[in-house]
């Protein structure tokens, strides 16, 4: 069983309990939602060693190709076109850094990572991407949390489950973000999310935190941003 996430993962679990409490009494916190003041592109790097100095908290987003990652990033930052949306899956091939300033008076990095699982590239390219992603995830010292995007339209996919299990072996803190909820009937989204979470039971003693989102309706935006806000506050006190 993958039961020990490490110190960072324990921090994730702790903040998830805060998020659950927040959801239960969300009407009391409407005025406390974090907002994005500004977001700008910084650099695209071919590897973790070429990334910007690790002097700010960093939140990275990753998922299978065509999962809606760029749309989600643009929705979160309130900046259409910040992350480039391509009609060709697998287009993102570099580690893309954006600098964000939020209403909690924090400045942090949002990172758009290459998607995994896209078959229409050479085996060598897939291996290079895989090595780049693994090195970044395991060695980037200021990475606070990895947001793993899952397409809510589909039943659990083997490649997603395997990637998540690998994160557990690496003891990397992460949460799940189910995307494209607007593409489903509400009942279908709930069934697919429940099925995915249940599929983790074979290897996980406790489930990771998860959010349901839509770049179109902006569902989940406030909760995701407040999750980051809580990390900003927690990390700054560490």
Backbone angles phi, psi at 153, to 5 degrees: -75, -15
Q: What is the mean pLDDT of the chain?
A: 84
Residue 198, pLDDT above cutoff 90 = yes
The residues, any chain, with a CB within 8 Å of residue 171's CB and separated by 6 or more, are 4, 5, 6, 8, 9
The residue behind tokens 């009609």 is 87
pTM of the model: 0.82
pLDDT at 175: 97
Is domain 7-237 annotated with CATH 3.40.50.1000?
A: no
pLDDT digits (tens, 9 = 90+) for 165-189: 999 999 999 999 999 999 998 899 9
pLDDT tier at 194, thresholds 50, 70, 90: very high
pLDDT digits (tens, 9 = 90+) for 142-156: 999 999 999 999 999
Residue ranges covered by each domain of the chain: 7-237
The answer to whether the beta carbons of residues 74 and 83 sit under 8 Å apart is yes
């Amino acid at each position: 069983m993958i039961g020990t996430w490490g110190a960072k993962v324990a921090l994730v679990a702790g903040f998830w309990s805060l998020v659950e409490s927040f959801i239960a009494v969300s009407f009391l916190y409407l005025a406390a939602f974090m907002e994005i003041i500004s977001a700008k592109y910084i650099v695209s790097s071919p590897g973790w060693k070429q990334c910007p100095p690790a002097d700010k908290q960093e939140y990275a987003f990753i998922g299978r190709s065509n999962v809606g990652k760029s749309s989600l990033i643009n929705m979160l930052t309130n900046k259409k076109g910040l992350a480039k949306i391509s009609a060709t899956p697998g287009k993102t091939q570099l580690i893309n850094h954006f600098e964000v300033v939020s209403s909690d008076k924090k400045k942090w990095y949002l990172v758009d990572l290459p998607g995994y699982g896209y078959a229409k590239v050479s085996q060598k390219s897939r291996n290079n991407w895989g090595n780049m992603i693994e090195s970044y995830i395991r060695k980037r010292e200021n990475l606070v949390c990895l947001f793993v995007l899952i397409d809510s339209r589909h039943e659990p996919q083997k490649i997603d489950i395997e990637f998540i299990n690998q994160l557990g072996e690496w003891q990397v803190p992460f949460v799940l973000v189910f995307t494209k909820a607007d593409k489903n009937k509400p009942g279908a989204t709930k069934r697919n999310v429940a099925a995915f979470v249940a599929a983790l039971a074979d290897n996980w003693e406790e489930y990771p935190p998860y959010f349901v989102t839509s770049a179109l309706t902006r569902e989940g935006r406030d909760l995701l941003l407040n999750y980051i806000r809580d990390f900003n506050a927690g990390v700054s006190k560490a």
